[in-house]
């Protein structure tokens, strides 16, 4: 079920990165678009159409597209605050306690991140940076085959720590657990909207949904395309594609735990990637057997089989050093080191969204309760991107308050004339003459 590859074959298949605009579009996706839009459109064309209509027609377009795409009529998109408050009575005390536990750990982790203004006084004046929170942030919480209240906590809490005063949430499935997650952290603006239409509403604003300054949170193909298209009108956290885990293990690792971790990742959706790198053929075979033994016992077996067969695999490498070289080239969202001396290999890690050290620091803990946000860079963007954090919700304003700037003005004038910008030079020279 989960194939075993040699390195060259893996590099040409499961370890090969595709540009984000060259995503695969299945026939079922194209057929779904044709069914809802009444014509054969590419995903980009479909999203562009939704964005345009929401921008032009506001709430009316939101209602139309929510009915066409999600299949239900909405008189009012906003979830009443009373409904959010009452959610607790419909959620088990065990889940409520777990949400509070996770929220506390996420908040405590992010409160340790420095994001402070500074001002340096010098004889020539002052220089500094003002750190200011973004005013209004929109959070997208997926609500498809697996609604994710954890995503609400992982995205909204860092924004709260940064000082964002206005947080709105859009989700196609405002179920009771998602509502209770919002209530746990004091978020009250929730809209039952999903897909590209939710992104459009947050980016452009409608009669009901306020326009935001930045949109964060993962979503499906259409959400990701929409975020890319509205970037510039609003900020975005990144283009968060299908989730991925890369595990490194050897003969000293536990094959059952490795299999469990691969399956936990693969069950997200059919495009999820769960990859094991190991220098041991014997360990590879043990993990393959353990995966096959476990799949049929799990509820999302159908999704697992497709993900494991098409997007995942076990790669037998020459040694652990080669495993880390391949991992850095792949730049995974999650890098899980199921090694006895995992910490000793941290220096070999260059590119990863998050590094999980040892069998007790498994990726599922990162999904829920470890502390760092589980919204991490995918698709190789860990080469330049970071997990969602407090700095994603602030902006830096440069502060310049100079006096007696004759010497600086002289150098500025020289550089301005080298660029043939004579008005710039004249403005600088006017200060020299004073």
Residue 182: pLDDT above 80?
yes
Domain shared by 292 and 418, yes or no: no
What are 84-109's pLDDT values in tens digits?
A: 999 999 999 999 999 999 999 999 99
Domain shared by 230 and 339, yes or no: no
The reported pTM is 0.94
Residue 145: pLDDT above 70?
no
Q: What is the mean pLDDT of residues 320-339?
A: 98
Number of domains in the chain: 4
Residue 293 lies in a domain: yes
Among residues 405, 421, 205, 247, the alpha carbon closest in space to that of 338 is found at 247
Residue 22 lies in a domain: no
Residue 75 to residues 49, 63, 191: CA-CA distances in angstroms?
22, 8, 12
Domain shared by 31 and 91, yes or no: no
CATH number for position 285: 3.40.50.1980
Among 22-26, 189-193, 244-248, the range scoring the smallest mean pLDDT is 22-26
Residue 398 lies in a domain: no
β-sheet bridge partners, residue 169 = 139, 190
Residue 243: pLDDT above 70?
yes
Domain shared by 379 and 268, yes or no: yes
What are 360-369's pLDDT values in tens digits?
A: 999 999 999 9
Domain shared by 167 and 199, yes or no: yes
Selecting among 110, 268, 334, 351, the annotated active-site residue is: 334
Residue 20 lies in a domain: no
**pLDDT class for 434, splitting at 50, 70, 90?**
low
CB distance 357 to 346 below 8 Å: yes
Q: What is the mean pLDDT of residues 399-405?
A: 89
DSSP assignment of 70-89 equals: I----S--BPPHHHHHHGGG
**Helix, strand, or coil (residue 266):** helix
Domain shared by 213 and 251, yes or no: no
What are 265-287's pLDDT values in tens digits?
A: 999 988 899 999 999 999 999 99
Q: What is the mean pLDDT of residues 249-267?
A: 97
Domain-terminating residue out of 189, 214, 237: 237
β-sheet bridge partners, residue 270 = none
pLDDT above 90 covers a percentage of the chain that reads 87
Residue 47 lies in a domain: yes
334 is catalytic: yes
Q: What is the mean pLDDT of residues 324-342?
A: 97
Residue 289 to residues 208, 240, 249, 278, 314: CA-CA distances in angstroms?
53, 31, 15, 15, 12
Instruction: Write out the residue range of the structural domain in which residue 181 sits.
Output: 81-115+123-237
Domain shared by 229 and 136, yes or no: yes
Residue 144: pLDDT above 80?
no
Domain shared by 262 and 214, yes or no: no
Domain shared by 379 and 246, yes or no: yes
Selecting among 244, 267, 268, 333, the annotated active-site residue is: 333
Q: What is the mean pLDDT of residues 161-187?
A: 96
Domain-terminating residue out of 185, 220, 237: 237
Domain shared by 223 and 273, yes or no: no
Domain shared by 210 and 351, yes or no: no
Domain shared by 64 and 127, yes or no: no
268 is catalytic: no
Predicted confidence at residue 124, as pLDDT, reads 83
CB distance 325 to 374 below 8 Å: no
């Amino acid at each position: 079920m989960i194939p075993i590859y040699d390195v060259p074959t893996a590099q040409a298949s499961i370890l090969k990165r595709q540009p984000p605009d060259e995503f695969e579009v299945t026939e079922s996706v194209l057929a779904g678009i044709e069914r809802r839009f009444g014509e054969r459109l590419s995903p980009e064309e479909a999203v562009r159409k939704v964005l345009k209509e929401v921008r032009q027609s506001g709430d009316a377009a939101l209602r139309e597209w929510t009915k066409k795409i999600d299949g239900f009529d909405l008189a009012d998109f906003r979830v009443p605050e009373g409904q959010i408050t009452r959610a607790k009575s419909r959620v088990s005390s065990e889940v409520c306690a777990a949400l509070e536990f996770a929220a506390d750990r996420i908040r405590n982790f992010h409160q340790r991140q420095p994001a402070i203004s500074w001002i340096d006084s010098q004889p020539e004046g002052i220089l500094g940076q003002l750190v200011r929170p973004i005013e209004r942030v929109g959070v997208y919480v997926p609500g498809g085959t697996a609604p994710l209240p954890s995503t609400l906590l992982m995205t909204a809490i860092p924004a709260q720590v940064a000082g964002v005063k206005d947080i709105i949430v859009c989700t196609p499935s405002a179920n009771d657990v998602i509502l209770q997650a919002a209530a746990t952290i004091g978020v009250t603006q929730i809209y039952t909207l999903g897909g590209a239409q939710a992104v459009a509403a947050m980016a452009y604003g409608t009669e009901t949904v306020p326009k935001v300054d930045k949109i964060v949170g993962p979503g499906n193909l259409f959400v990701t395309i929409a975020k890319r298209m509205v970037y510039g009108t609003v900020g975005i956290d990144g283009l968060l594609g299908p989730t991925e885990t890369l595990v490194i293990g050897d003969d000293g690792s536990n094959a059952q735990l490795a299999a469990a971790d691969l399956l936990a990742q693969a069950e997200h959706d059919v495009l999820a990637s769960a990859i094991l790198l190991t220098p041991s053929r014997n360990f590879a075979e043990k993990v393959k057997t353990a995966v096959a033994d476990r799949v049929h016992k799990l509820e999302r077996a159908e999704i697992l089989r497709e993900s494991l067969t098409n997007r995942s695999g076990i790669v037998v490498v020459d040694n652990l050093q080669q495993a880390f070289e391949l991992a850095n080239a792949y730049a995974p969202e999650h890098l899980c080191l199921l090694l006895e001396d995992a910490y000793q290999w941290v220096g070999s890690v260059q590119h990863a969204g998050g590094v999980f050290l040892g069998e007790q620091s498994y990726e599922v803990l990162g999904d829920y309760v470890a502390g760092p946000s589980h919204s991490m860079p995918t698709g190789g963007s860990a080469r330049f991107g970071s997990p969602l954090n407090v700095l994603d919700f602030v902006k830096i304003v440069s502060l310049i308050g100079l006096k007696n700037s004759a010497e600086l003005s002289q150098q500025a004038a020289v550089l301005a004339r080298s660029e043939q910008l004579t008005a710039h030079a004249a403005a600088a020279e006017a200060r020299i003459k004073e």
